[in-house]
Structure formats: C-alpha cells, structure tokens
A and B are shown apart, each in its own frame.
Chain A
Amino acid sequence: MTEELLRRVSAVMVAAIESTGALVISVGAIWAAIRFVVDGLRHRDPTVFVPIRLSLGRFLTLGLEFQLAADILRTAAAPTFSQIGQLAAIATIRTALNYFLRREVAQEQRQQQGDRDQRRSAQAP
C-alpha cells in the first residue's frame, strides 16, 4: 500500500517537474524565435543575435535541470531493466547537452565581453 502510494505520488511529481521543464524550454524557444525575426528585421545584422542566443541557452539549461530532476525522481519507480536503460540514456543525453550548452554560453559571454573591451579601448582617447 505504501509502495503503491509512493509510486503514484512519484508519478505525479515526475509529470509536473517534466512538464515544467518542457514549458521553460518552449517559452524560451518561442521567445527566441520571435526575437530572431524582429531583431533581424530591425538591424539586418547577424551580430545582434548573440544576446538572444545566450538567453536561449540559459532557458534550455534551466529546462534541462528540471528534466534531469524528473529523470532522477523517475528512477524511484523503474521496475524493468529496459525502463532503467531508457532512463539512463535520457539522463546521459540531457547531462551531456547541459555541459555543452553551459560551455557555449560561457564562450559566447567571453566573446561578447572581449568585443566590448575592444570597442571601449578603440574609443578611448
């Protein structure tokens, strides 16, 4: 009885957390898609997309954190090896992507900072 109750509560929590992650990713992606077009229309210059890409990267990272939490919670009720295997594969994909996204966001931030410093030193008398 307790185990059944724990499984049901766990299933509800997993669904809620995973949906939150999916929602965060979707909101970030739709916002970025619209901003790409609006800023492209305004400036006609691909360099203005860097801050949009950084923000999208942050949205994706946050969404992935929620989904990883759901993956961990899901292992509480994974009765077959096939399900455990699928969970492991999903968690690996998400963890690897999280790592690459964080690295790219840091790299683009450093590039942006470098460009800003270069412009400042070019403007300085």
Chain B
Amino acid sequence: MIRLLATVLTGFALGSAAGVLLLTASWRAALRTLLELLMAAGLVRLAAAQSWTDLAAAAAIVVIRNLLSTALLSPPPRPPGWSAAPRRSE
C-alpha cells in the first residue's frame, strides 16, 4: 500500500514538473518542483523500507535534492560589470 502511494506520488512529481516547465518555461522551477515532490515520494517509500538498498536509495534522493536545492537557491551568476543600482543620468 505504501509502495503504491510512493509510486503515485512519483507520478504526480513527474506530471507536475512537466506542467511547470511547459507553463513557465523555467527549468529551475521545474527541477525544484521535481526534486521536492520526488523527495516526498522517497520519504513515503522510506516507511516501507525493508532492506539496506531501499535505505540507500532514499538517502541518495535526500542528498541529491539538498545539494541541488542549495545550488538552485543561490541566484544565477551575473555578468561582469553588472550593477544592481540604477544609473543616474547626468
């Protein structure tokens, strides 16, 4: 039952991420959506973990998600000479 729920959540994750990518054309948003929802599926699957392989798979999802989220949370690199302050016209 729990494995079925985890599979359903994985389906929702893929569908939702595809929808976000199509609707916003933002790969960052789509990837974050996918990672968050896949992690939710991984957590549910952890409840039915029977073996060390299941545990390792869940741990891998969590680590990958945290690493990628940290990378995606930081703002994109700005080109050299870019300034946030508006230029004053003289």
Q: How many residues of B contact A (CB 8 A)?
A: 35
Give the chain B neighbours of A41 by CB distance below 8 A: 19, 23
Decide: A32 and B49 in contact? CB cutoff 8 A.
no
Q: CA A26 – CA B7 in complex, angstroms?
A: 11
Q: CA A106 – CA B20 in complex, angstroms?
A: 24
Decide: A28 and B40 in contact? CB cutoff 8 A.
yes
B67 CB to closest chain A CB, in angstroms?
Answer: 10
Cβ of A46 under 8 Å from chain B:
yes
Decide: A40 and B19 in contact? CB cutoff 8 A.
yes
Decide: A26 and B40 in contact? CB cutoff 8 A.
yes
Which DSSP category, helix, strand, loop or mixed, fits chain B's interface? helix
Give the chain A neighbours of B23 by CB distance below 8 A: 37, 40-41, 44
A73 CB to closest chain B CB, in angstroms?
Answer: 13
Q: How many residues of A contact B (CB 8 A)?
A: 36
Cβ of B2 under 8 Å from chain A:
yes
Other-chain contact of B12, A18, A29, A96 (Cβ < 8 Å):
A29
Residue of A nearest to B58 (CB): A93
Decide: A37 and B20 in contact? CB cutoff 8 A.
yes
Decide: A56 and B36 in contact? CB cutoff 8 A.
yes
Decide: B62 and A97 in contact? CB cutoff 8 A.
yes
Chain A residues within CB distance 8 Å of chain B? 18-19, 21-22, 25-26, 28-30, 32-34, 36-37, 40-41, 44-46, 49, 53, 56, 60, 63-64, 67, 86, 89-90, 93-94, 96-97, 100, 104, 107
What are 14 A-B contacts with C-beta separation under 8 Å? Answer: A21-B47, A25-B40, A26-B8, A29-B9, A29-B41, A33-B15, A36-B16, A46-B24, A49-B32, A86-B52, A89-B52, A93-B46, A104-B69, A107-B73
Known: A29-B13, A44-B24, A46-B29. 13 other contacts (CB 8 A): A28-B40, A29-B9, A33-B37, A44-B23, A46-B20, A46-B24, A49-B32, A49-B33, A89-B55, A90-B46, A93-B55, A100-B66, A107-B73
